[in-house]
Structures are given as C-alpha cells and as structure tokens.
Amino acid sequence: QPGSNTYNPVIAQEFYSKRPLMVIKRILRLASLTAVFNSGLLWDWLVLGKLLKDEEYSALRRNEKQRAKDALVLCEKLGPTFIKLGQALSIRTDILPELYALELRQLQDAVPPFDSSEARSVLRKELNVSDLNAIFTQLSEKPVASASIGQVYRGILKENGKEVAVKVQRPGILGEIALDLHVLRVLTPIQTTLQNAVNRQKTTQEDIDTAVALVDEWGRGFVAETDYRLEAENTINFGDAMKKRGLDAVCAPTVVENLVRDKVLVTEWVEGTRLDRDASDDVPRLCGVAINAYLTMLLDTGVLHCDPHPGNLLRTTDGKLCILDWGMTLSVPNDLQYALLEFIAHINTENYDAIPQDFINLGFSPENVSLERLQSSGITEGLSFAFLDVKGVTNVMEEMSRRNRELFALPPYVLYVARAFSTLEGIGLSIDENYAIVQECYPYLSRRLFTDRSPRAKAALRAML
C-alpha cells in the first residue's frame, strides 16, 4: 500500500541498539572518508584562525571555495544517503554558506549507476516473471538516468507496443538509508556541540533536540521517496488535479498502474527537452505554465512537488510542460494556504503591522513569541523591495533567518517554492532579459482570490483592492 515505507527513529534506535557493531563499522567508515575534509576545516579554523589570531577568519573564507568543492566530492563518496542530504542542504543557504550550497547543487543529476544485471534481477522478482521478455519486447541494456534511490531504463511494452520508462530501486537502499539516518542521529549532538563551541555559544538540550528533529524530518521525507507506490499515486493525483482545473498545458507521465510494485515504477516515456536546454520561443510561456502549476499546488491542491530542479521540467514535443519525479512531496494544509494569501495581500498593500502575525501563521516564527518583539526586531524591514524578484525574496529571508535565529526560520515548503521559482526565473531570463516572474504570478493570484468564497480569502481580496 502507498505510504508503507515510513521512518520511525524510535524503532530504528531499538533495532540498532542490538547491533552495535554494525553502527560502529559505519561510523568508522564515515570517519575514514571524512578525515581529510575535517582536517582541512580544523586547519582553517584552529591554525589559521585561532593560533595565527586571524580575527576575521580571512584565511578560512579564502579556502572556502576549495572546501566546498571537497564537500561535493565527499557526498558522492559517502553514498546515496549523503547525496540526498547534500541535495537537501543545497537549498538551505540560511544554514549553509552560499559557496557550499552552489557546489552541492551539482549533485542533482550525476549519480553512478548500479549494475544492470542487479536491476534486471529486481525487475524479475518484483514483476514475478522468469523472463522479462514476457512484459517488454525491448529494454535498454544500460540505464538512461541514475539517481540516489534508483535508475531508469527505456523499454517497450509487449502488450501494446508503448514506449515506457522503467524505474528500478537500488538493491538494499532502504537498509542503507536506515543505518545512515541512525548514525546521523547519533552524531548530530556531537556536531551541534562542536558548531556552537566554534561560535562560542553554550549548547542547550533544546539546541540538540532541534537539530535531531531536523534530521528526523528530513529522514521521513527521504524514506518516503523509496515508496514507489506512493510516487505512482502522487503522479496520478497531480495529473488528475491539473485536468480538473483546466490546466491542460502541464502534465505528469502516465503511470502504467498494473506494473507498479514496491521497487518498480513504470510510466509512459515522455519525449521532450529539458526546459533549461530548449531554445524554443515558447519557453517563457512554459515557465509561466510551471509557475501556475506550482501556485496551484501551493494554494489549491495542497500537495507540493519537492524536486523542482531543471532535469525534472521537460518541454514535450507537443509543447506541453511535463513535471517528472513525484517521489518527494509536501502537504500544505488549508490554514497555511490562507495564511500565504493574507501575507501576499499585506505585502502588496505595504501593511507591515500585520506581517508579524503572518510570520507566526506561516510557521516562520514561534507561536509563543510576542508580536511586539517581532515588530521591534526589524525583521520586516526590506520586504517591500525584496518582492521585485525571487532572488530578492530569497536573499532577504535567508538574511533574516541568519540574523534572527530565535525569531525567524524558513520552513521547508518555502525553500522548495523558492527553489522552483528561482529555477524558472533563471530559465525565463536566459531567453528574455525582461522576463518578470512576479508578473506571471498576478493572474493566478487574482483568480484564486476572486473565486474563493471563504471569509479569509474575501478579507485578503479586500486588502488587495
């Protein structure tokens, strides 16, 4: 059943507490692989910074570009869990230096494949056949794409001659992820304490609990990505939702439902070009289509696609936008959707007195913080000019998060939307230097407010008018 692959840190703790040698072996392996990288960081901070009394840490910053490149290579060496962790951190410039984030974004596409003989063995077992020719008249010898959880082959179905994409999960990946997540939980308190020591801050139990909670939250999302039945369901639901709303210019691959298994997902083969590599005149239009799709997910359907890198956005041969890879999604409840509409209305009308309450409603700020403290902290300053473009929004909010960690933090859904819009803005600007993503948002927001009869939507509309 969809949703059967779930991450439970308590059960994992019980399981691995009875297998300490397995945990120790993995920790030692990680220590050996990270030793050179960690030594470099220690040299930059302790020797160049402390012993040479470099108060500004200029040497550390001078070496940061190389250390960031080293971090990219290190993630690839550490395996699928750390590749996915690097991908997740690549959009967290509020907690990671920008140079590191930029380097880690290269992890999106290039992951070494596993052996095709293993993939065919998984296919035979999952599809319950001794000969794959019973299902496919043709199946590519090598994968056409490889990712941290699985890889994709191109094939032709025997029953109808249709061309399909066959996604096969890496053997043993779930056990590998579970062990690495447990190890991360074990090491997180140590890492948090060391990081606070570098910043000359005392580590509290709350600091450790918060850091471990972040690992758990990310772990739940990562484990959910291994659930191919859930991915199939997400793919089908998105396609149905777009058709229901009349958004015919955007689609997801059609799922071959009778060939969905725990470790195998078969969909139609989508012929097209990556949106960022297509020279067609209608690419800016398709960027607008994508923006409408993401706004619809965020403010209407409540299920957000969380992997919006350029490789997952295709311009099909018939001029549609196809969004690939629905393994990772995020739920956006109704209350949050209305809070976003209210926030947009207050920004648009420069009603900054209402922003502190918006921050609490949106999950940017803790519920127990006083509105007066938020207002006096100055975190609402600069919002008006920031909303001219995506980069402005992202930069201001990340800076707010860095300066006011106790009062302001960026929830995951904001980071995924910012990443999607930033990707689309970059593609649009590469074709048209006058492309303005904010202008693309207004038609959808206007329709959303005019057609929603709820009291909160009506109030937001009145504020806008």
Supply the mean pLDDT for the chain.
Answer: 85
Same domain for 233 and 350, yes or no, is: no
| Lowest-confidence segment of 145-149, 187-191, 425-429, 433-437 by average pLDDT | 433-437
Element (H, E) at 265: strand 264-268
pLDDT attached to residue 279: 72
SS3 38: helix
The residue range of the domain holding 20 is: 9-110+173-224
Looking at 235, 253, 269, the residue that finishes a domain is: 269
Nearest CA to 227 out of 463, 3, 464, 458 is that of 3
Q: What is the pLDDT of residues 202-246, one digit of tens each?
A: 888 888 888 888 888 888 888 988 999 999 999 999 999 999 999
pLDDT attached to residue 161: 97
Instruction: Calculate mean pLDDT across residues 144-166.
Output: 95
Give the amino acid at 138. Q
pLDDT of 260 higher than 90: yes
Same domain for 220 and 322, yes or no, is: no
Q: What is the pLDDT of residues 70-96, one digit of tens each?
A: 999 999 889 888 988 888 888 776 667
pLDDT of 49 higher than 80: no
- Residue-wise over 292-310: b if at least 16 C-beta within 10 A, else e? bbbbbbbbbbbbbbbbbbb
Tell me the two tokens of residue 20: 């300490």
Instruction: Give CA–CA dist 294/221, Å, rounded.
Output: 19
Nearest CA to 81 out of 190, 7, 168, 1 is that of 7
| Lowest-confidence segment of 51-55, 147-151, 254-258 by average pLDDT | 51-55
Neighbours of 97 (CB within 10 A): 15
pLDDT of 167 higher than 60: yes
Give the amino acid at 117. S
Same domain for 386 and 414, yes or no, is: yes
pLDDT attached to residue 4: 60
Q: What is the pLDDT of residues 361-405, one digit of tens each?
A: 988 888 888 888 888 877 666 565 455 566 666 777 777 777 777
Concatenated DSSP letters for 104-135?
Answer: HGGGGT--PPPPHHHHHHHHHHHHT-S-GGGT
Same domain for 413 and 435, yes or no, is: yes
Q: Predicted confidence band at 26 (pLDDT cuts at 50, 70, 90)? A: very high
37-45: which pairs have CB atoms within 8 A and are 24 or more residues apart? 37/67, 37/70, 37/71, 37/74, 40/67, 40/70, 41/67, 45/198
pLDDT attached to residue 326: 94
pLDDT attached to residue 408: 80
Instruction: Give CA–CA dist 270/252, Å, rounded.
Output: 9
Q: What is the DSSP letter of 50?
A: I
Same domain for 245 and 141, yes or no, is: yes
Same domain for 334 and 195, yes or no, is: no
Same domain for 236 and 206, yes or no, is: no
Q: What percent of the chain has pLDDT over 70?
A: 89
Q: What is the DSSP letter of 312?
A: G
Query: Is pLDDT larger for residue 456 or for residue 157?
Result: 157
pLDDT attached to residue 101: 82
Residue 328 makes CB contacts below 8 A (sequence gap 6+) with 221, 224, 225, 305, 306, 307
Give the amino acid at 56. E
pLDDT of 294 higher than 80: yes
- Rounded alpha-carbon distances, angstroms, from residue 325 to 29, 178, 217, 235, 410: 31, 22, 20, 8, 24
Give the amino acid at 271. E
Same domain for 53 and 126, yes or no, is: no
Residue 37 included in any domain = yes
Looking at 157, 189, 224, the residue that finishes a domain is: 224
Cβ-in-10-Å burial (0-12, 13-18, 19+) of 80 comes to buried
Same domain for 79 and 151, yes or no, is: no
- Residue pair 410/397 in contact by the 8 Å Cβ criterion: yes
Same domain for 189 and 46, yes or no, is: yes
Same domain for 434 and 291, yes or no, is: yes
pTM above 0.75, yes or no: yes
Instruction: Give CA–CA dist 239/214, Å, rounded.
Output: 31
SS3 2: coil
